[in-house]
Structure 1
Amino acid sequence: MPSNRQAGDIGEKEIMRLVPCPNCAKKLMSLPKNFPLYDIQCTGCSFRAQVKTNNSKPKNEIFGAGWDIMSKVLK
């Protein structure tokens, strides 16, 4: 089983390979390591997203970033 870091890297690469930008349908690209809040961004527009991966069986819960961080960034 891959480490959390490895699983995250694999998840980002898989998203970039399989999923187009939901806004403009262009390719997604990886942001630099330790970039605040986001993991990937669109090559054509300002869309950015955070990728969450999990090393367990699927559950009825979607993991996400903490609202405390989001509220500070959005202010």
Structure 2
Amino acid sequence: MATKRQELGVFGEQRVVSDCACPRCKRQKTLVRLPPNFKCADVICDFCGFLAQVKAASARSLDRLPKSILGAAWGPQRERMESAIYFSLFIVLATTDRSYAIFYLAADLQEPDMFKPRKPLSETARRAGWQGFVYDMNAVMNRAVRLR
């Protein structure tokens, strides 16, 4: 049984796949979802191979990005950043009635400062030692564009 957060994530990925053209090749209906737990990417263009991350967040207002968004695993993200590899980011904001907005932040507009590691989970946690990160959107707020 999926959690509310997982359901929101799937909703966001489905909205990007159905509503967005590929930012690289500009083709419609070529973005497809990757399998769950694929590291650092959620969608791929089945024409040109473009990869992107999708983050979905609950919001009261669809007009403005939140100050921060929960990321995923810090280890893989940090390793990619050390190799200067960044994935573009689709941000889907959804209200309780499932109205939504989609924002896009290109990989080349991202900065290392926007990725903030979280404290590792305690030794008694189910996934002890796992460490996530947060996207600090304050640094790039004016760089994201609203697509829908």
Q: Does residue 64 of structure 2 align to residue 63 of structure 1? A: no
Which protein is richer in helix relative to its size?
Answer: 1
Q: What residue is the counterpart of 1:12 in the other structure?
A: 13
Q: Hey, what's the Cα distance between the residues in 1 that align with 2:67 and 2:49?
A: 28
Q: Tell me if the contact between 2:33 and 2:43 (Cα under 8 Å) persists in the aligned partners.
A: yes
Kindly report the root-mean-square deviation, in angstroms, between the aligned alpha carbons of the 2 structures: 2.4
In structure 2, do the counterparts of structure 1 residues 15 and 60 end up closer, same or farther at CA, with 3 Å as the change threshold? same
Q: Hey, what's the Cα distance between the residues in 2 that align with 1:19 and 1:64?
A: 22
Which protein is richer in strand relative to its size?
Answer: 2
Bigger radius of gyration: 2
Structure with larger RCO (C-alpha < 8 A, sep 6+): 1
* Matched residue type, 1:5: Q
Question: 1:1-75 residue pairs with structure 2 within 5 A?
Answer: 3-26=4-27, 27-58=30-61, 59-61=65-67, 63=69, 65=71, 69-74=76-81, 75=83
Shift of 1:61: 2.6
Shift of 1:33: 0.7
Q: Tell me if the contact between 2:39 and 2:76 (Cα under 8 Å) persists in the aligned partners.
A: no
% same residue: 27
Structure 1 unaligned regions, length at least 5: none
Residue 32 of structure 1: SS of its match in structure 2? coil
Instruction: Report how many aligned residue pairs link the two structures.
Output: 74
In the superposition, the TM-score normalised over structure 2's length comes to: 0.43
In the superposition, the TM-score normalised over structure 1's length comes to: 0.78
In structure 2, do the counterparts of structure 1 residues 70 and 42 end up closer, same or farther at CA, with 3 Å as the change threshold? same
Q: Hey, what's the Cα distance between the residues in 1 that align with 2:24 and 2:71?
A: 21
Deviations for 1:47-72, whole angstroms, at most 9, x for unmatched residues?
11111111232454363747864341
